[in-house]
Amino acid sequence: MTKSNKSAKGMSLIEILVVITIFAVLGIIVTSSVVLTLQGTRKSESLIKVRENLNYSLAVIERNIRNANSIPECPEATTTAINYLDQYGQLSSFSCANTGLEDSYIASGSSRLTSNAIKLVSCSFVCTPSDSSTPPLVTIELTVEDASATGTQNAQVTASTQIYLRNY
């Protein structure tokens, strides 16, 4: 009678292995969901950073070009820069520096509009001359991406806008 009581008190090796396997599978599932959540968070943060930089740059460019007195060379000889006379009659410009390289940025005159955190992938300023019924039109197309993110966590954003001069 003592033999049957001893075997009822303990667990078999197979029962222990089954429990360990169940916990291992649960651990893998939880770990993979946490990793996917962190990757999604990094992608969202990257996208926010890129959009903020792009939106700020476009807002400055739009405000200045819309209020410009004129664009001396329309169409411009190059599509990576645009020169204009601001509302006070001073020559100003916007340009894309080092497009496609690590240290690329959008410049207003000699200062940076975009931070070091983003990379300028493509840039285009196209000026369409005025005709009898419409003022000059500037079309801007920009593509920027996060300079520090790689792979699936990298966010790339493209924006395009058209600006008519008000004071022409």
pTM of this prediction? Answer: 0.75
What pLDDT shows up at residue 1?
Answer: 47
What pLDDT shows up at residue 154?
Answer: 80
What pLDDT shows up at residue 27?
Answer: 94
What pLDDT shows up at residue 46?
Answer: 86
What are the pLDDT digits (tens) for 16-40? 999 999 999 999 999 999 988 888 8
What pLDDT shows up at residue 168?
Answer: 60
Distance CA 32, CA 85 (A): 56
Give the pair of three-digit tokens for residue 11.
Answer: 């667990």
Identify the segments of the chain with pLDDT beneath 70: 1-8, 167-168
What pLDDT shows up at residue 78?
Answer: 81
| Distance of alpha carbon 128 from the chain centroid | 28
What pLDDT shows up at residue 5?
Answer: 52
The secondary element (H helix, E strand) that includes residue 9 is helix 2-9
- Whether the Cβ atoms of residue 123 and residue 105 lie closer than 8 Å to each other: no
- Looking at residue 85, what DSSP letter applies? E
What pLDDT shows up at residue 7?
Answer: 52
